[in-house]
Amino acid sequence: MATQPTQNVYSRMRDLHWSPKEKAVARRAFDRALHRELEATIREAKQMAARIKEPDELWELERHLTRRRKEIDAKYEFKYSVLLLVLADLVRKGCINLAELHGLVEDKLRIIRDHVESAA
């Protein structure tokens, strides 16, 4: 039975060492992307709130914000066991760019680039 590519990625990530500098680079890029997304969500919520005229619209805003919170919570998981895939997804979705990951070693950047390309 052949090993699936995803299993290889998880295996490779488990064996990686994160230096303090790399942890700081990853955290900074992750936090920037999360901050940008939260700021966009705030702007969107304010626009929706400004248009509310009926009680049903108020509850629609609540449903929308609950959906967004769940999406954001699922998207932003800062665990080193999956962090490279999270960062790759953020790159693929345009939330961060590879330049923001400058300081990661080439092995980590390769995993990110490979995941971005395979998901495209």
28-55 mean pLDDT = 97
In a domain, 12, yes or no: no
Evaluate whether 86 touches 78 at the Cβ level (below 8 Å): yes
Query: Cβ–Cβ contacts within 10 Å for residue 86, how many?
Result: 19
| Count of structural domains within the chain | 1
In a domain, 104, yes or no: yes
- Whether pLDDT at 27 is above 80: yes
In a domain, 13, yes or no: no
Question: What is the tens place of the pLDDT at every residue in 43-76?
Answer: 999 999 999 999 999 999 999 999 999 999 999 9
- What's the length of the chain? 120
In a domain, 9, yes or no: no
In a domain, 73, yes or no: yes
Reported pTM: 0.84
Average pLDDT of the chain to the nearest whole number = 91
Residue 68, domain extent: 20-119
85: part of which helix (H) or strand (E)? Answer: helix 83-92
Q: What percentage of residues in the chain have a pLDDT greater than 70?
A: 93
In a domain, 98, yes or no: yes
99-117 mean pLDDT = 94
In a domain, 38, yes or no: yes
In a domain, 114, yes or no: yes
Q: Which two tokens stand for residue 31?
A: 């936090």
